[in-house]
Structure 1
């Protein structure tokens, strides 16, 4: 029987879909059989992050309505990792909750872990996902509005469910955004699930539809692994390790940004160039 986890955030824009996919990828690399479910009816995005936007011929609503078979709707991503897309036509207001129960009943025995990427905001989709899940992950970005929005979802978590706050897109650099320590101090130890640093690498890969290629030994990959240990194994990760991961993330981002700047500053060849084999100037097309 699969352990079912939902990731939610209140409002959007905190990197929830990217983190959901990345957590599933991390578990699949550890040999666990994982299913990613896009629960954002009408506004799905996980297919883009996974680079599978052209492969989604069926979706979870088709499966719930019996319009297709399991193997038609569930798409293989990488070894041990599958994906079930959301509908782009339906909304949670038109989806019959019992149909989702049937889908999960049929599918959960095939996996070790199932991640449901919840829609932003509040409503029927969040309530259904929370009801079906064993563990709820509330993602918080470095702003007080994000922190408050996550808290507003807390009353929707039923009794007997595990609830963890996961802080995302944090950095140790000084700036207008809240620091990790400022947000961490508002949480009790039992509800803190970990912090994931802002990663230029992850954002780039996600925009390219290649998030499955992130480096597991990067600060981003290290944080994901520690979050899973904290949430699923109830491991006590020292605060110093989380802080060290944030500092490592800052260094990695600086290296990537520095390399990008160097590449931009490389002098491009001019339109006219001298070729030693010719006594005349020839036109060289700019790439």
Structure 2
């Protein structure tokens, strides 16, 4: 049985698809990985993996039983496969498709890149999976992420982590460890990693350069996230690459 990870975010533009693809690529170093694009019509992962001209069959073709399961997987790299999206696919069936894949093809990991609006609507279907919530440090993104956590924990227990992404040098220098940990504890975000803003890496990703990335420092942070996902008993906050100074979250939310 594959380990399934749902990657979602409360708002757009915070690096959800980029992190999904980086996780998939890193995991595929020694595991067989499928990454599923749940962003209907956008085909974001096709672009990231430079596969726009190679995709013929999509998840909708399999869901509608027009093709066999082996026809919908496109090999991106050794041990890494992409299942592409289309506007014709009914996203309410995505869990059913993942379950059918689990029963037919052996993958070590299945990563599903999914918009938050669908994730919230169908949250009960994802309770057995690990969810990664991606946010940046904007007030709107943090509070929207907090709202997702509140709504889901109100109705069920679910296994989730939050990744704070696109942290600028100024934001990093203003972060305060004690305050972040306190915010983590009292607001239930379960923050497990802080990822710096890296325009060189992400512009390269969206130019189809993900597979040639040599941003080792950033990739090592992705490895830390993978370690955390694999060890569900050990939720830790990865602060080792940061120096903390001022009380960022206290200032951000005007808390004493």
TM-score grouping bracket, smaller chain normalisation: 0.7 to 0.9
Q: Which residue in 1 is equivalent to 2:26? A: 26
Instruction: Give the direction of change, closer, same or farther, for the CA distance of 1:191–1:174 in structure 2 (3 Å limit).
Output: closer
Q: Gaps (5+ residues) in structure 1? A: 245-287
Secondary structure class of the residue paired with 1:66: coil
Partner SS, residue 241 of structure 1: coil
Distance 1:153 1:14 in 2: 15
Provide the residue aligned with 2:137 in structure 1.
Answer: 142
SS of residue matched to 2:42: coil
CA distance in 2, matches of 1:126, 1:152: 10
Structure 2 length-normalised TM: 0.80
State the TM-score, normalizing by the size of structure 1.
0.72
Structure with more contact order per residue of length (Cα contacts < 8 Å, sep ≥ 6): 2
Cα distance, 1:96–1:19 mapped onto 2, change above 3 Å:
closer
> Alpha-carbon deviation of 1:58?
1.4
Measured in 1, the distance between the counterparts of 2:20 and 2:221 equals 13
Q: State the aligned residue count.
A: 234
Matches within 5 A, 1:13-162: 13-29=13-29, 31-87=30-86, 89-90=87-88, 95=90, 97=92, 99-108=93-102, 109-119=105-115, 121-122=116-117, 124=118, 126-128=120-122, 131-132=125-126, 134-154=129-149, 155-156=151-152, 159-162=156-159
CA RMSD of aligned residues (A): 2.7
In the alignment, is the contact (CA less than 8 A) between 2:123 and 2:152 conserved in 1? no
Q: Which residue of the partner structure matches residue 248 of structure 1?
A: none
Distance of 2:176 and 2:67 partners within structure 1: 45
Aligned to 1:231: 229
What's the offset of the Cα at 1:184? 5.4
Residues 24 and 115, structure 1, Cα contact 8 Å, conserved in 2: yes
- For residues 188-211 of structure 1, give each alpha carbon's deviation from its aligned partner in whole angstroms, at most 9, with x where no partner exists: 288122111112332132121121
Q: Which runs of 5 or more structure 2 residues have no equivalent in the other structure?
A: 244-256
Higher Rg of the two aligned structures = 1
